[in-house]
Chains A and B, each alone.
Chain A
Amino acid sequence: MTTTQPTIEALVADLEARFDDVDLGHVRAWKDGARHRLAVGCLPVFAPREVIWAAGALPVFVRGAGDRIETIRGDAYYQSYICHLPRSTLELGLLGHLDVLDGMVFPNTCDVIRNLSGMWQTSFPQHIVRFLDPPQTAEPASAAAYLHHELTTLFRDLCAHNGVEPVPARLHLAIADYAAANVVMRELAAARQREPWNLPVDEVYLLKRAADSMPPRDWADLARRYLAAAAARGRKPEDRIRVCLVGSFCEQPPRALLRAAEKAGCYIIDDDLTLGVEPNGPDPLLGDDGDPMAAIVAAWLRTTRPSAVRYDEHGTAGRILAERVAAVGADGVVFAAPSFCDPALLDQPRLTRVLDQRNIPYTSFKYAENTGQFQAIREQAGTFADSVKLWGTA
């Protein structure tokens, strides 16, 4: 029997169709595929994917609507000086696009998402709504005990809702499923750093966004197919600089903005767009006590990649960014933050101070998920790329 390798065009078209389907038809199809299946929305940035999946629920990251729908009703709930993500997320809910979801988990990413959790409780009483406040303390023992309790409660609640037993075996399987996906995520990161000309940012982005709402092993299969097809492209490198994109971990930039930045002369070889579906440190490892929840908790607390929404306990986020730039072989950093995003914007001066000290060039701009104008950003990225090429500095 022969299997035909899908063309890259077909793969990308499929990814695009998934991305554009704001009604989450593929999630509906998955739920309809068997009994005892739920779907649980997760706001950015970090969500306990293994725990949700172990309860028989598909974690579905809800990262706003981007420019895929027009936000009208959601706007009436927010003042002009609040970022765009909560408006379009509400709009998605109010228009019924999220009806396939059985619940929503709101991690404590910032005060906007925090407060949105309360609005959700009132506006969507049919959803199980959980607020999750992952420990920010530097004190590991109390952090572990608290997070264990919170995740166990979530696991039990979701299992009860789904009519399944909250047994540890479910957690073991979920850990293994996400570890399999993480292997491919790491391969994807390596491939894009190696050959960014074969893996354009827009495609990598679509692939990672597909991970937002796919069963982990299905996603791993899809990603492997994409990696094989992309490697077979055999494109030639262009004269572009290599950059890390930083600050877009929550509200997402429009895809056209990513394309514009790349076309202007940058290969985006690393980003923080979808932190919650990427390995941010070692995978959960079973300890001597054999408690899988303890392994999930330990992995969560051991996260090695800093982000603006985790307490930077040692004040090392700038240094780690600089090291990451070096490790991935980037020439510079593009800070792209959503307007009015306190976590991203308050981080920037701390990070740029370290980049300045190490002569790492950077540029920065702000966006909203529904920005339609890219000219200024294209020009800024172009100028940045040119000056780095010419002088090695911005």
Chain B
Amino acid sequence: MIKKEPSMDAQKDLLAGYFARLGRAKDEGRPVVYTFVPGNLVELMAAFDVAPVYPEVNALQSAMRQRSSGFIREAERGGHSEDVCSYVKCDLGMLAKGNVGPTGDTIPPPDLLLLSFTGCFTFMKWFELLREQYDCEVAMLHVPYVGDGVVTAAMRAYVVEQLQREVIPKLEKVTGKRLDLDKLRAQLARSRQAEEDLAWVFKSARHRPSPIDAYFGGVYYIGPIFTSFRGSEDACRYYAMLRGEVEERLAAGLGPITPEGSLGDEKFRLVVEGPPNWTSFRDFWKIFYDEGAVCVASTYTQVGGTYERGFRHDPANPLESLADYCLSCYTNLPLPQRSRILADMVKEYEADGFVIHSVKSCNSFSAGQLHMLREVERLTGVPGGFIESDLVDARYYGQANIKNRIESYLQMLHARRTGGSVPPPPRPERVHLEVVP
């Protein structure tokens, strides 16, 4: 029996409470707002006391409960191509089947569709499809891509203006309330506090052994702050509790918690780029911890905010701060910067290697990752590993293939460390994703 840390139960309670509150939202007269995770405006939404829904979260939760395949097939029957993002199809399939969410509760329809369009073009297409389904208010926030790696004053001003002229008026319309700037500031101050603790937790992986797994554990850590809880008292409590637990693990010299208990022997320290697979999340994780591989840093945990790289919300400049947050999310950054972030993390966390997990669904992450692989190798002198699957489409997850690739990659890292001569895993000249029947 694995000993659970209190923060795990706390997070479970948070999530259950969220879905329960969502279920009551209509009865309690709280408007429901559908929005996306990266670049979300949760503090602003909370200032209006609306109930946010994140379709990606529903998709990943459905996948973890093995329900996504049916939804994807449903969307494909409805005319959607096998080629396109499976998050979109999972959501549309779920909608076609009555919009019953991952916990079995029906997700209420939106009063406002709020597209904060950060870091992914497909969001826009997804949003257009969702809008067809609902007769409700729509607000679009176009967050420009930071193509040259610099957030310019013009970009910030553009986002702020849209907040003032488009997003806030729409929120005021659906709620019948005026924006309370003090309330927003208070939310942002609490966000900052939780961000401080979360960043500390991620930075703890610089120690040996690392007390956390910043990828497989990290996806749990980011759950509350990437979604509805940023800016809430609950989030502050959760992150303080998490930090306390990690401090204890650190003091005790313990490794990260895995589904099979604490990892005893940290053999490899890895940095990971790309989202995880959700349909076989546990099996995927096991491949790593079975080999004593700990993920000491990851980029996926920065898609909803680059906290460990220093971003903090700023209550003194609320709208500008929201703009900066949207602009600086990881997938809104250009590839050279993403490569440098990876390279910096390899150095900062003294990683033995880095692994790119490329997912079929996500062009935002995946297009160009083989280039990043070469770039990070060039910048660090460390060889990288490359594996492929999908987010929520189980047809594209091949356990044996991924296990094989990770094991040979780790062997190569081991040989490198000990001066042995295991050749590097073959560089994919042309990569083929195998569809698992």
Q: Give residues in A with beta carbon < 8 Å to B.
A: 75-82, 86, 106, 108-112, 114-119, 121-123, 130-133, 135-139, 141-143, 145-146, 149-150, 308-309, 311-313, 315, 337, 339-343, 345-350, 352-353, 366
Contact = CB atoms under 8 A, between A and B. Distances in A.
Contacts of A75: 429-430
B406 to A, nearest CB: 17
B363 interface: yes
Contacts of A149: 154
Nearest to B153: A149
Given A122-B339, A149-B154, 10 more contacts: A75-B430, A76-B430, A77-B368, A78-B431, A79-B370, A82-B366, A117-B334, A119-B335, A119-B371, A315-B132
B363 A137 contact: no
B259 interface: no
A366 B84 CA distance: 13
Interface residues of B, number: 60
Interface in B245-265: none
Interface string B141-169: 11011011000001101100110011000
Nearest to B166: A139
Interface stretch (B121-129, B215-223, B234-242, B307-315): B121-129
Interface string B380-401: 0000000010000000000000
A115 B147 CA distance: 9
B162 A142 contact: yes
A394 to B, nearest CB: 14
Interface in B89-105: none
B81 A348 contact: yes
A109 B369 CA distance: 19
Q: Nearest 5 CB-CB pairs, A to B?
A: A131-B147, A118-B335, A142-B161, A118-B334, A115-B368
B223 to A, nearest CB: 24
A142 B363 contact: no
Contacts of B154: 146, 149-150
A359 B144 CA distance: 39
Which of B122, B158, B369, B427 gathers most chain A CB within 10 Å?
B158
Contacts of A339: 83
Contacts, number: 184
Nearest to B429: A76
Nearest to A119: B371
A342 B121 CA distance: 9
Nearest to B85: A342
Interface in B161-185: 161-162, 165-166
B419 interface: no
A110 B121 contact: yes
B29 interface: no
A76 B428 contact: yes
Contacts of A117: 147, 334-335
Nearest to A340: B83
Given A115-B368, A308-B125, A346-B122, A79 B431 contact: yes
Nearest to A76: B429
Given A133-B145, A366-B83, A108 B162 contact: no
B117 interface: yes
B3 interface: no
B122 A111 contact: yes
Contacts of B120: 111
Contacts of B132: 315, 350, 353
Contact of A81 (B83, B334, B336, B427): B83
Nearest to A318: B132
Given A111-B363, A345-B81, A311 B140 contact: yes
B88 interface: yes
A341 B147 contact: no
A171 B131 CA distance: 39
A119 B338 CA distance: 11
Contact of A352 (B79, B121, B125, B364): B79
B358 interface: yes
B367 A142 contact: no
A79 B363 contact: no
A390 to B, nearest CB: 24
Contacts of B429: 75-76
B4 interface: no
Contacts of B81: 337, 345-346, 348, 366
Nearest to A147: B158
11 contacts: A75-B429, A76-B427, A76-B430, A78-B370, A79-B366, A79-B388, A81-B366, A81-B433, A110-B122, A146-B144, A315-B132
